[in-house]
Structures are given as structure tokens and as C-alpha cells.
Structure 1
């Protein structure tokens, strides 16, 4: 018996500084960020164990980065997953800034 495809949605939760991916309305993962001026600094991506192996992280990050572009912001990929995604998807290279020691110090202060 075939199951219907899951309904996937990605929501930006500014109150929680993250994008969340929902599968059939259930939160399946997130990618966390902090805004630094016009930069959106991504620092952590996680897909919960019950939802791994479905390609959700890629869909989440793709939609998050598309939203960053739509807002006129720039991407700073501190998160290793986001950095790896950007290496394979150069359509975001025009709005990607390097991770600098200054950005890393700023982020540590934000998260402290």
C-alpha cells in the first residue's frame, strides 16, 4: 500500500531565529540563524532522528536561502551543513559572504 507523499512546509520563525521544516504539520528539523545587519548568519542545522534520510535538510536549507535572497539579505554559512550545501549549489554564490574571525566572535557573543 503506497502512502501519500508527505506535506512539507518550511516556516521562518523570527521569534526563534530559525527556519523550521514541517512534515504533515510535525516539526522535523530546523536551521538556526542570527541576523548581523544585512547578513543572515546560519550556525546550526538539525533534522530530528525520526525524519532523517529523507533529504529534508537540503529542502530546508534551499528554502531558507531562497527566503534570504527574497529579503535582500546575504548568507554567512557558519553551519557546516549550509557551507557544504553552498559548495554544491552555486546559485547562491552572489549573496554569500565568507565566515571571518570577526563574524565568529560576533556570533559567539550573540549565543553566549
Structure 2
């Protein structure tokens, strides 16, 4: 593992995930499923050797910025992504929430 280097994130659509690399090594990934106009984030993982280095945050920020650029919404099934969105209110507008139906008389 490389001890130096910035986190470089890119989408790997053939694997349905975003990947983070540090020093050329795969440091983490966030898996998704495209469902219409929504990206469903199902699982995020950071390799133990890279934990505590901002990999998960960089990965999530990149993925959500991409969601915004593509005009999509995000459904965070993954607890990490959901928690990240809740801690960063500037991304709250991307979170998909089901609409409640008005009461029917």
C-alpha cells in the first residue's frame, strides 16, 4: 500500500460502482443500481488499510456530485452514504424520499 497520494475517484459503470484509488491502489468503492432517474447506493466499502484517510467521504462526495450533474436523485440504502448525506445538508436535495399521498376522504 502507498502511504502517500491523494484520493482519486472515478466511475466504473461496467461494475456499477464508483471507485477510489490512492497511490494507484483500489482503496474503496460504492456500489449502485441505476433505477430510472435514481441511483440506488447499496454498499460502500473502504479497504482497512485506507480507513481514516478520507476515502469514504471523497468517494461519496464524487458520486453525489455526479448524481447532481446527471440530473438524478439518490436513494441511499447504504448506511454510510445515508449518514454522509445527513451530515452534509448541501446534498440533502439529492436524497430520494417517497412522496406521501394526500388523505383521501
TM-score by length of 1: 0.81
CA RMSD of aligned residues (A): 1.7
Preserved CA contact (<8 Å) 1:77 1:98: no
Three-state SS of the structure 2 residue aligned to 1:15 is helix
**Greater helix fraction, Structure 1 or Structure 2:** 1
TM-score by length of 2: 0.86
Residues 1:5 and 1:49: Cα distance change in structure 2 (over 3 Å): closer
Structure 1 residues not aligned, in runs of 5+? 100-112
* Structure with the greater alpha carbon radius of gyration: 2
The reply on whether 1:25 has 2:24 as its aligned counterpart is: yes
Cα-to-partner distance string for 1:55-103 (whole Å, 9 max, x where unaligned) = 210111011100111111110010000000011111111121137xxxx
Task: Give the number of aligned pairs.
Answer: 97
